[in-house]
Structures are given as structure tokens and as C-alpha cells.
Amino acid sequence: SDSMGSIGTVQMTVQELAGALGTPDVPAQYIVRAHQDQQLAAAVVAPVPVIDLGRLLKHGDGTSNEAAKLRSAIESWGLFMVSNHGVDAVMDDMMAASREFFWQPLEEKRRYTNLISGERFQFEGYGNDRVSSPDQILDWTDRLYLKVEPEDERHVALWPAQPKTFRDALHEFTKKCGGVKDDLLRAMAKLLELNDDDYFVKHFGERPLTNARCSYYPECPRPELVFGLKPHSDGTVVTVLMVDDRIGGLQVLKDGVWWDVPIVPHTLLLIIGDQTEIMSNGILKSPVHRVVTNTKKERLSVALDYSVDPKKEIEPSAQLINEKRSALYTKVKIKDYFARNYNDFTQGKMAIDTVK
């Protein structure tokens, strides 16, 4: 069957497609690099710091070695790895449950489809991106996308019942990572010398939004032509990411060069999002990143996307505006920004550029 049906539906999952390809070719809708000058040479591994969270919190005055590493990471890369975070056991359970979910027969996974009545796209559920135009470049990935917070808005019917460990693992992973995220946002507020260490945490509002994104990247016969995930910045406050410790693929753009993000087992990766870039008046940058494919091994990741309450507005902190640095961003309605961010992502554009 054709991998693409009418606009709005994608018939075949990438996992099916990868299994069905008897030739080294991939369908044209996935080929991105033929008309875009991409850096294809092997990327250099980025010297992204690993922050020991226990040590960072122990020396809470912002003067420790860990605080210096954090400052360097957020000023240079916009992302960093976190160790000694207390999430280890839950990480193993979450990764195992995700892997097991994607290894199940297609009929089982389709019970959680992101297509209503086989056609209308919804954000939550299992599948791939909504196809909104015939020339949209598709990513070589299948996803399970679930709202996890607010808890009373969970669409539990879309949370896999198999494997049996999945729901508990995701609930625990969400709970544990939420504490890590708050601790790190407080440390960042301290480094910016904001009056209140809870500046970013308080800005989440009463009903902040957290989405979980389990991504499966099958082997790809033509990695030089296809992205697992096209270049983008995250429209979040922050993203907490658990990456596959068996194979890499995540890359970050710095000074016009793509760098490999290293794999350090049992670390969490924290990526600064557009909402933090706006609130910090551009001092903290939301990095452009992508996922590349490979011919040898599948790859998995589990991300938690943390966002301000969609009913709220955000703007640069008044404390970070002065004669030397005027406001670099407009006031932003979060709900509108979500819609803009998704549409721009499908077209390979950056939403953050529209609010400067």
C-alpha cells in the first residue's frame, strides 16, 4: 500500500514501511536532503556538560563547580545532561515498557491510534504526524503521544494496557521527572539573578501542560536522505528527555555546525524550550536540534514536554530588560503559540522567529 493516503492520514507506520522495503529506496515524502544543503559529514561529539543534581542542590548558592557547568551549558548549548537525579530505576522501567509497546503487533498498537474513525487526526495516541500538505517532508519515526498533566485531563483509554507495566511506569516517570525539572529551573533562575528562584516554576500557572512523547525510529536504508526528526526547537518551557543508551542520533546545531549529543547512560537530557527563551529575554537559548537515522539499529526515546498553562500569556521578565537589553520578544499567548509551533514544525520553520 502507498505510505500516504489522502491529506490528513498516513496509512503505513514507519515501522511497517521499514519492514516492507525490499529495496534500498525510501518513499519520496521522506526525502529531505535532496533539496536542502545539509551537513552530511560525521558530526563531532559535542562537549555537553553532565550536571550532578545532588551536588548542585547541596551547594545551592550558585557558586559550586556544578553551577559553573550549568551556566556554561545553558549559555553555550541550551541543553545539558543530568546525573544523580534519583530517577534511575523508573527510567529502566519506562524504556523497557516503551520498547515492548513498539515491538507489539500492529493491530495491538492501532488500538491507540491518533486517527479518529481512521481519518481525523488528534494529537494524542499512536501513529505519525498529520499530513497537512502534499509537499510536507515526513519524519522517519512513529510516536505515542500522551497528555500526562493535568492528571484529570489524562485520556487513559489511549494509555497502552499492554505491556501491563506501561501505565504505572509512565505515571512514576512523570512524577519523578517533574521534581528534577523544578529543581533545575530554580537553579537557572538563580544563575540569572532573578529576585525569585521560583520565577520559572511559578510561571507554569495553575494547570500547566505536560505531554509524554515515546518515539520509535526504525532502521533506515538511506540515512543520508532522511531525518528521524527534522530540525526544530521545542515550543516548551523545557523538555526532559531519556535517550536510547544503545545508539545515538540526536544532534544539536551550534554556530552553523551540527554536533552529536553524546550518550551517557542513565543521564536525563534537559533541553531549554522557546518559552524559557522568551521569559529569559533571549539569555537562555532554545537550541535547534534534529534526529538522524541509521541503517543498523532501531532507536527509542521518551520525552516529557513541559509547558505553561495554555490559558496564560508569557513575556520577557521585566528584571531582564534594561537600557542595554530591550525586550527581544512580544507577549505570547501560549495556546496560539502551540498552534503556530506545530504548523511551523511541519513546514520546517521556527515559531520562535515569529515572536521576536
Q: Each residue of 137-187: pLDDT tens digit?
A: 889 999 999 999 999 999 999 999 999 999 999 999 999 999 999 999 999
The Cα–Cα gap between 256 and 273 comes to: 19
Superfamily of domain 46-354: B-lactam Antibiotic, Isopenicillin N Synthase; Chain (2.60.120.330)
Q: Which residue ranges make up each domain of the chain?
A: 46-354
The Cα–Cα gap between 45 and 260 comes to: 5
The Cα–Cα gap between 303 and 21 comes to: 29
267 residue type, one letter: T
Is residue 269 exposed (0-12), middle (13-18) or buried (19+ Cβ within 10 Å)?
buried
pLDDT digits (tens, 9 = 90+) for 268-284: 999 999 999 999 999 99
Confidence of residue 6 (pLDDT cuts 50, 70, 90): very low
Which residues are 259's β-sheet partners? 44, 252
Q: Which residues have CB under 8 Å from 201's CB, separation 6+?
A: 182, 185, 186, 189
Closest CA to 137 of 235, 33, 17, 66: 33
